[in-house]
Chain A
């Protein structure tokens, strides 16, 4: 079934089309293999946490899923649109917030949101309404005419999120979304993700903070050394891994026992 989300782009909203799918996604830099054949399947309305230690391949995977990096091998699709073969249709479906919000420092918030709305073909009246709403929700209305370069890290993070939501995406990618945010903003993001899930959007976010994943996700995918080592709901993982907490499961799967030993030595 083809429908229009009011942005001028048409997309498939059939219930059986996965929001995000990847098969054998691989990325090599010379001899170093950063991501080793990752398979991912995320359904609409799911919030999935992507867990892994530093350097596990989380950001590289997300960059391949969003078309920022060309995979060495494998395929990825967003709402059924192949990111390589049909990039425009695929890109129209998602919003992305990187770990470091590198925005246009010399634009103000209004200009940035208007620019984003034009790139995503949001109808003008809808764009203005939505920009207003996002600025209000993220508590940026008072700073909306200031240059973004003068914003704090947290404000820039919220600005990037507002930009990613301007076209009401069906899929939202977040790379370490809570880094640098105060508890109030982190809570806001958590609530917003809940609302996105309610309206059927899929959220895929990376984090290395286990508590965040435990609180917010329907399902988690754990990656280590470029390969997926576990996937499932937290209850499923508890059942298969025989550990009581997600933190223990995470440490067991990613070799964290060595770190626990190191902590003992340092103590």
Chain B
């Protein structure tokens, strides 16, 4: 069995390596740079956390945290590996195309199963090397532990991924029993994205809540936090048992270290083996549903309703049919839909730094306008609304062609012009953008009570600039469209994004400055404010239309070659 498992694991590695090798040079280099950057950030963050924990132990010997903190570090990374392993197990067991081929081959069936579960092991160890290892090493250095500790830490890290991998297999079986695997993957993608956004929001707002927590009742809060952790330390969780072993190793207690690590390995291997056997039996017995996508409950009533109401889709023009189609497809693919929420992490930045929600944040025009008796809040509100709504809907625009994926042929053979197609794609992001930005502007008006003329002017600026920025995204979405994607994160191209950002900056600087003409007139020549409104609006609109049309025309010229190579 071990030989078969090894053979199959080597096969997976070979496939992964071939995938990497077959890429072009630039994506290869960017992948390596990206991996090094992410790895570097993880190593640095983990190192800081480990050092902080080590100093905490050294400075507070009366708190008896020695056995607690290494266990907490290992438990945290165990949970992290559990999250990543769940997706890997789901993909390997239910969404891969080779499982039946391997199961019917004359190799040990359990080896096939084990190799599928251990599929992501290389990534798990990479994750541990970037998180657990630097955290434990820096902890040991800060706590001034001896060499035995580092050997024990290495052993503990080596065994850590087994339990989460086994548990993830059971979890996948349970979930797959009740829901189709593809839907589970979509939900998982949505949760992953929301988790990432939550982490981003927490880190962005840390100066607000961090101040609140530690300023109000700092020592008491920390004490109750540590009490909670102490409760967990004595649980028979393998990572916590390993923590006791590491603490003993730190003070040179060979017997204690051996006992702790032995307990850790017995529990880990025992639980992993149990999980493996149970999952394999559940799988082989057909207890789980083998289908990858579900068959919905068929209702006569629903069928009759669908047949009798053609809805907007059934009555639209070709361009609007594309809009309604996109609006239906997008929220139904949760993995794709989740990508739209990524820009939400920018909201705290806008709130804290642009709208002046954070302490001490100074708006760039503050000193200039305050001396001239002008309230610049309206400009910041407009800029904030524009930033949030455009970032949100730019994702729809940027992936408008790529989202067609392998169904692109349907639009390509349809008797519609390129202009109709791009109009439909632009409207799919422009209409919700205009609706949301208008609602936010009206809400801001009701909240702040701006002068009506300035409100309408600000609203116009938001709509015109937003439409221009979205049109730029559409134009650059065409030449770099990626149709062969399985993971929605791979829909956008680096070059498309770079060119779109350059065009955004150019449009923002020129049209944005033109829209500020009335403000400049009020500062330097108040008698010219009225004509400045007119000139600013007309000139900025003309520039926006010009730049967006250029980019759209570029996209239009490349439309016929989309999908030629895929």
User: B-contacting residues of A (Cβ < 8 Å)?
Assistant: 9, 66-70, 87-92, 94, 96, 98, 100, 102-104, 106-108, 110-111, 114-121, 124, 127-128, 132, 141-147, 149-150, 163
With the chains together, A108 CA to B325 CA distance in Å? 11
**A149 cross-chain contacts in B, Cβ below 8 A:** 182, 293
Supposing A70-B564, A144-B306 touch, asked if A106 and B332 sit within 8 A by C-beta, the answer is yes
Closest chain A residue, CB of each to CB of B421: A119
B314 within 8 Å of A by Cβ? yes
**Could you tell me how many residues of chain B have their Cβ less than 8 Å away from some Cβ of chain A?**
44
B302 within 8 Å of A by Cβ? yes
Which of B306, B313, B407, B410 has the most A CB atoms < 10 Å from its CB?
A: B410
**A91 cross-chain contacts in B, Cβ below 8 A:** 413-415
Q: In residues 291-313 of chain B, which contact A (Cβ within 8 Å)?
A: 293-296, 298-299, 302-303, 306-307, 310-311, 313
Beta-carbon contact of A142 and B303 below 8 Å: yes
Beta-carbon contact of A127 and B314 below 8 Å: yes
**A128 cross-chain contacts in B, Cβ below 8 A:** 310, 314
Beta-carbon contact of A92 and B407 below 8 Å: no
Beta-carbon contact of A102 and B303 below 8 Å: no
Beta-carbon contact of B414 and A119 below 8 Å: yes
**A114 cross-chain contacts in B, Cβ below 8 A:** 310-311, 313-314, 321
Beta-carbon contact of A120 and B563 below 8 Å: no
Q: In residues 387-440 of chain B, which contact A (Cβ within 8 Å)?
A: 405-407, 409-417
With the chains together, A121 CA to B332 CA distance in Å? 26
With the chains together, A121 CA to B411 CA distance in Å? 13
With the chains together, A132 CA to B308 CA distance in Å? 10
Beta-carbon contact of A107 and B414 below 8 Å: no
B543 to A: closest C-beta gap in Å:
33
Q: Which of B296, B310, B414, B561 contacts A150 (CB 8 A)?
A: B296
Interface membership of chain B positions 529-564, coded 1 if the CB is closer than 8 angstroms to chain A and 0 otherwise: 000000000000000000000000000000011011
Top 4 A-B residue pairs of the complex, sorted by shortest distance between their CB atoms: A118-B321, A102-B406, A92-B415, A91-B415
Supposing A89-B415, A146-B295, A149-B293 touch, asked if A119 and B321 sit within 8 A by C-beta, the answer is yes
B5 to A: closest C-beta gap in Å:
32
Beta-carbon contact of B313 and A102 below 8 Å: no
B316 within 8 Å of A by Cβ? yes
Beta-carbon contact of B415 and A9 below 8 Å: yes
B317 to A: closest C-beta gap in Å:
7
A158 to B: closest C-beta gap in Å:
16
**B561 cross-chain contacts in A, Cβ below 8 A:** 70
Which of B299, B302, B313, B314 has the most A CB atoms < 10 Å from its CB?
A: B314
Which of A89, A107, A141 has the most B CB atoms < 10 Å from its CB?
A: A107
Q: In residues 267-287 of chain B, which contact A (Cβ within 8 Å)?
A: none
Beta-carbon contact of A124 and B405 below 8 Å: no
B329 within 8 Å of A by Cβ? yes
**B307 cross-chain contacts in A, Cβ below 8 A:** 110, 132, 144
Beta-carbon contact of A118 and B564 below 8 Å: no
Supposing A106-B328, A106-B332, A118-B321 touch, asked if A88 and B311 sit within 8 A by C-beta, the answer is no
Closest chain B residue, CB of each to CB of A135: B307
A8 to B: closest C-beta gap in Å:
10
Beta-carbon contact of A88 and B415 below 8 Å: yes
**A108 cross-chain contacts in B, Cβ below 8 A:** 306
